Chain A
Amino acid sequence: MNDTDALKNPGVQVNSGSDSLLALNDVQFHWPGRDGFTLSVDSFSLDYGEKLFLKGPSGSGKSTLLSLICGIVSPDSGSICIDGVDIAQLSASQADRLRADKLGIIFQQFNLLPYGSMLQNVLLPLQFSHARRERASASGMPADEARRLLQRLGLAVEQHARGVTRLSIGQQQRVAVARAIIGNPRLIIADEPTSALDADNRDEFLKLLFEEVTHANAGLILVSHDQSLASRFDRRMEISEIANTSLTGAA
């Protein structure tokens, strides 16, 4: 139901001709209330199921770009289409719903709510997205789906009901993958998910992430400084190739 809500809205342009999962065109943005910093994207697209490695130093506009793609902030002009829906045309709450339905997001660390068990953390996105809840219930109860995911990610069943505060960072990041992937969102966005992990954990994490993303047939944008990860991806880009940032008008 949530899936089609945005489509029914007459103000929303549905770019049904496009075969991209994600397409940004002529995007202009500046942070409200912050002087000077502007970001613009001429043209950028990501195919369905494509895995993109995005490299960029801090201050390159990385978090701004991700905020735009996630619909947390809205551009001043231009279009940002996700799965055919222009997020720039949506109201804030419609954008929130689109994010809940279509995106899975993994942070650098501290991905989990300190209260609640592993299982509760994984099931959380389903409370905000009817579409993902339906998909997660396709083969039984959502909790069963969550348990399957966690097991595939190497987290034993007896841990599932426990709190998350005592988990290692590696384990926390894997729970975050399960949460991002449950209910099969179209696009997974991971913001430096391996930077807090050691080398062994990093490789293991990446392997599991790739398996799950491929399994769900989702697109992946992974942002990292770590060039050694880049070879496994379908495509590698620098943030500066996508977005132009400038500091104008600053005192």
Chain B
Amino acid sequence: MTTFLLAWQSLGNRRTTALLSVFAIALSITLFLGVERMRIGAKSSFTNTISGTDLIVGTRAGSVQLLLYSVFRIGNATSNISMDSLDAIESRADVAWVVPISLGDSHRGYRVMGTSNGYFEHYRYRNKQPLQFESGQRFEDLFDVVIGAEVALQLGYQIGTSVVVSHGIGAITGKKHDDMPFKVSGILQRTGTPVDRTVHVSLAALEAIHLGWDGGSQSSGFRIDADQVRDMDLQPGSVTAALVGTKTRFGIFQVQRFVNEYKNEPLTAVLPGVALQELWSIVGVAETALTAVSAMVVLTAILGMVTMILSTLNERRQEIAILRSIGAHTGTIFSLLMLEAVILAAGGILLGTGLLYGLLFFITPWIEQSYGLFLPIEAPSLYELKLMGLILVIACVVGTVPALRAYRQSLADGMSVQR
């Protein structure tokens, strides 16, 4: 207790430098814990991009590739799956629902996805949240379009805006399906998932605009009126992929085996959670680098604190000689210096954590709005407490440097300080 009081008072005597040290540590802790929160938040956002879907079915491919084009709209499928296959899956007793997905076109850089109204019902993200409409509604008319929040924001679209879909992917090069303009019927709320950057149309509409198209170009002289097309059979023969929900958890594996062993067509069914984890292990490397950098910042701050203590040591030799003269053990001198390091580090950790929560309180709504990154404000996790403990231990270890030095100095100085 005496030692603690002495250390406390001695620090109080050097308030300015002590507070600066505490502040440097606090900022580094805020950065470190903040980055950790972001990392964990990003990971959970990422791995929760799609939930509530039990299986993703596509043509035979690697699970990551299937995930990339079906959920993240990155890249293309090598081939489609036929409607017959989908019907076969849907007719199984253990399958609850099937939502087909058809990709291939784009609108001003955003991918156009053909799907059914079931998509808005069954697609779930982050803790099984359903898609919500900011305004408007699902597909009613053949040429209705539902756009993600990002698309609406960037292109300034509102309900009723006309949309022309380009053939193929790419902002400029694609030929336009300008004979059949679409109309925005619904705008989705922000989700922080690729849904925000997707233009949703019905499968039938996608089929309609491709009537008379052969591969990449429109056959000459074959033009159909947008009204004529409504009377035609617009059931597509194939789609790119499908989201499948099963009735029971056990059903998942039965359906997966059924799909993977399907005879008529080479198909793959993947568990989205597993594939997302696999994909995260690839993109997560950058996050690890960020963590490493912020850990370095914490180390730098601790080293700065120890440097501060070391630099005061010489002018404090007299203080130490006084303490020795009234009977303080060399061990007391050692623990005095150690305690200073611990007090500064602990102060920094407390202040830093406080700053983190203050910051989270203010920026969380903004981050969720702009990046769809959801950072819950909750008590420090066990992992974070362990990190804080580790930082304190590091401060103790590094704190032995000035402590040992003061110890040796007090031995060598003897009764009088050699100046």
Binding site for B on A (CB under 8 A): 33, 63-64, 66-67, 70, 72-73, 92-93, 96-97, 99-101, 105, 107-108, 110-116, 124-125, 127-129, 179, 191
Using Cβ atoms and an 8 Å threshold, which residues of chain A touch B13? Answer: 114-115
Between-chain CB contacts (< 8 Å), 16 pairs: A63-B415, A67-B415, A96-B330, A99-B327, A101-B327, A105-B325, A108-B416, A113-B6, A113-B10, A113-B319, A113-B322, A116-B9, A125-B327, A128-B326, A179-B326, A191-B416
A interface footprint on B5-47 (CB within 8 Å = 1, 0 otherwise): 0100110110000000000000000000000000000000000
Name A70's closest neighbour in chain B (CB-CB). Answer: B415
Using Cβ atoms and an 8 Å threshold, which residues of chain B touch A99? Answer: 325-327
Count of B interface residues, CB-CB < 8 Å: 23
Q: Do A66 and B326 have beta carbons less than 8 Å apart?
A: no
Q: Do B415 and A115 have beta carbons less than 8 Å apart?
A: no
Using Cβ atoms and an 8 Å threshold, which residues of chain B touch A128? Answer: 2, 326-328
Which among B10, B321, B329 has the highest number of chain A CB atoms within 10 Å? B329
Q: How far is the CA of A92 from the CA of B416 in the complex (A)?
A: 18
Q: Do A125 and B326 have beta carbons less than 8 Å apart?
A: yes
B residues 387-419 near A (Cβ < 8 Å) are 412, 414-416
Using Cβ atoms and an 8 Å threshold, which residues of chain B touch A116? Answer: 9
B residues 269-327 near A (Cβ < 8 Å) are 318-319, 321-327
Given A116-B9, A127-B2: A72 and B322 interface contact (C-beta under 8 Å): no
Name A109's closest neighbour in chain B (CB-CB). Answer: B318
Q: Do B331 and A93 have beta carbons less than 8 Å apart?
A: yes
Given A64-B414, A67-B415, A72-B324: A92 and B329 interface contact (C-beta under 8 Å): yes
Using Cβ atoms and an 8 Å threshold, which residues of chain A touch B412? Answer: 33
Q: Do A107 and B331 have beta carbons less than 8 Å apart?
A: no
Using Cβ atoms and an 8 Å threshold, which residues of chain A touch B323? Answer: 113
Q: How far is the CA of A151 from the CA of B43 in the complex (A)?
A: 70
Q: How far is the CA of A64 from the CA of B414 in the complex (A)?
A: 8
Q: Which of B2, B321, B414 sits near A73, CB closer than 8 Å?
A: B414
New contact pairs (7) apart from A33-B412, A99-B327, CB-CB < 8 Å: A70-B325, A93-B329, A105-B325, A107-B322, A108-B416, A113-B6, A125-B327
Using Cβ atoms and an 8 Å threshold, which residues of chain B touch A113? Answer: 6, 9-10, 319, 322-323
Q: How far is the CA of A112 from the CA of B322 in the complex (A)?
A: 7
Name A100's closest neighbour in chain B (CB-CB). Answer: B327
Q: How far is the CA of A96 from the CA of B10 in the complex (A)?
A: 22
Using Cβ atoms and an 8 Å threshold, which residues of chain A touch B330? Answer: 92, 96
- Shortest C-beta distance, B401 to chain A (Å), equals 20
- Shortest C-beta distance, A88 to chain B (Å), equals 15
Name B410's closest neighbour in chain A (CB-CB). Answer: A72
Given A114-B13, A115-B10: A97 and B327 interface contact (C-beta under 8 Å): yes
Given A63-B414, A63-B416, A66-B415: A114 and B319 interface contact (C-beta under 8 Å): yes
Q: What are the 4 tightest A-B residue pairs by CB atom distance, in nearest-first order?
A: A100-B327, A67-B414, A128-B327, A115-B13
Q: Do B415 and A72 have beta carbons less than 8 Å apart?
A: yes
Name B11's closest neighbour in chain A (CB-CB). Answer: A115
Given A110-B318, A115-B10, A115-B13: A124 and B415 interface contact (C-beta under 8 Å): no
- Shortest C-beta distance, A29 to chain B (Å), equals 11
Q: Do A96 and B414 have beta carbons less than 8 Å apart?
A: no
Using Cβ atoms and an 8 Å threshold, which residues of chain A touch B331? Answer: 93
- Shortest C-beta distance, A207 to chain B (Å), equals 24
Q: Do A100 and B416 have beta carbons less than 8 Å apart?
A: no
- Shortest C-beta distance, A94 to chain B (Å), equals 10
